[in-house]
Amino acid sequence: MTGDAMAQLIPALRRAGLQVASGSEKDLVIVLPDRRSRYVDLKLHNRRLGRSNIVHSADRPTMYAAVSATSAVVSAAKDGEFDLVTFDPPRVIVAAQAFIQPGASQRNVLGRPGWGTQAVLRILATTALPLRQVELAEMVGISPQAVSQVLKRAGDRVVRDGSGWTAREGVLRTWVEEYRGPGGMSTYWYGLDDPAEQSRLALALLDELDLTGIIGGDLAADRYSPWQLPGSVRLYLPELIDFTSVGFSPAQPAEATMTVVVPLDPTIVHVATTQARPYVGRHLLADPAITMWDLLNTSGTPTAHEAAHHLNTAISARSLDA
């Protein structure tokens, strides 16, 4: 139980309101709702988990992910002996707290709109021209019927004219406040070169692997609305890649010069692909709203908030350079 389990594990943790900051199939760094980080060893099982499968770690907590678990294992997890995630039935117990239990409603665990809803709103908040429902559906990757429901729920935040739909002033600010982040897995890297050269090295490796990267954060903001000197690289990818072969070293988040994210939010890649704003070669820019969120929430550059203000001004004025 490796790749399939990881594919189920990350969404399960996300539905529980837990963020996976980084990790692999051996360990994870989980951000709890109170913003504390929890480092756990990860044990994956492809069948029912019993007490005989439990091996305690002396160094740090262990998280077990399994199809199901015996009642004794569930009780031990609730007592704080280890963390537990099961898929049938769905259950998430972390640090002796049950975030998801069988039979409990999982609807609106985070109390925020879903990926599709958020994508529709951020596109309308940053578009230069009105968009029709079928265009929004194609850009987001959901059905026109789903777009129709999003627009109905949006109420007076959106307006329709003869050409299509636009967002009212202030929707982008609300979206930035509501967006829960891309989720998924992140890895952190350190490089000696400036961000532009680091991105060139990273994207050259992706070219060799026939992968397309989505550039966000400082570098995307510099392309949309040049104002600050980029201080870091933020890269969205379809899978985790080892960048040591092109001169990077693994790093802790605080020391990283490049962050690579495999997002749980599927609209980051889909919107970037349909908007097709090139960064270089096959590689694309993240959309302007995601770029703004990156600046405000992930950039370590001291002037990132001012850069976000300049980007917001360019969006409002419909004067993006890219």
pLDDT in tens, 298-311: 998 999 999 999 99
Q: Which CATH number covers residue 165?
A: 1.10.10.10
Both tokens of 268, joined, read 């980051």
How many domains does the structure of the chain reveal? 3
Identify the domain boundary among 69, 100, 131: 100
The reply to whether 85 and 131 lie within a common domain is no
As a whole number, mean pLDDT of residues 17-46 equals 83
Identify the domain boundary among 70, 100, 130: 100
Both tokens of 145, joined, read 């019927």
Q: How do residues 170-194 score in pLDDT, each as one tens digit?
A: 999 999 988 888 887 788 899 999 9
Q: Contact, 311 vs 291, CB < 8 A?
A: yes
Identify the domain boundary among 178, 212, 231: 178
Residue 108: inside a domain: no
Neighbours of 218 (CB within 10 A): 28
The reply to whether 149 and 76 lie within a common domain is no
Question: In angstroms, how far is CA 193 from the centroid of its own chain?
Answer: 26
Most confidently modeled of 11-25, 126-140, 239-253? 126-140
CA distance 312 to 232: 20
Helical packing angle, 267-275 and 115-126, nearest 10°: 30
- Residue 105: is its pLDDT beyond 50? no
Residue 110: inside a domain: no
What is the pLDDT at residue 196? 97
The reply to whether 162 and 54 lie within a common domain is no
CA distance 263 to 11: 11
The reply to whether 191 and 162 lie within a common domain is no
Residue 322: inside a domain: no
The reply to whether 151 and 233 lie within a common domain is no
The reply to whether 136 and 193 lie within a common domain is no
Both tokens of 289, joined, read 């709203």
The reply to whether 191 and 280 lie within a common domain is yes
Alpha carbons within 13 angstroms on the beta-carbon side of residue 259 total 26
What is the pLDDT at residue 185? 79
The reply to whether 199 and 289 lie within a common domain is yes
The reply to whether 85 and 68 lie within a common domain is yes
Residue 105: inside a domain: no
Q: Helix, strand, or coil here: 166?
A: strand
Contacts of 199 (CB under 8 A, 6+ apart): 215, 219, 233, 235, 258, 279
Residue 125: inside a domain: yes
pTM: 0.70
Q: Please report which helix (H) or strand (E) contains residue 4, including its range.
A: helix 3-15
Domain that holds residue 153: 115-178
Q: Helix, strand, or coil here: 216?
A: strand
Q: Which of 31-40, 87-96, 139-148 has the lowest mean pLDDT?
A: 31-40
Residue 19: inside a domain: yes
What is the pLDDT at residue 3? 53
Arithmetic mean of pLDDT over the chain: 88
The reply to whether 254 and 198 lie within a common domain is yes
What is the pLDDT at residue 189? 93
- Residue 322: is its pLDDT beyond 80? no
Both tokens of 310, joined, read 């300049």
Spell out a b/e string for 108-132, using b for 16 or more CB atoms within 10 Å of the CB, else e. ebeeebebbbbbbbbbbbbbeeebe
Instruction: Give residue for tokens 């729920």.
Output: 153
What is the pLDDT at residue 31? 84
Long-range contacts of 97-104 (CB under 8 A, 24+ apart): 99/16, 99/17, 99/18, 100/12, 100/15, 100/16
The reply to whether 201 and 306 lie within a common domain is yes
Residue 247: inside a domain: yes
The reply to whether 41 and 128 lie within a common domain is no
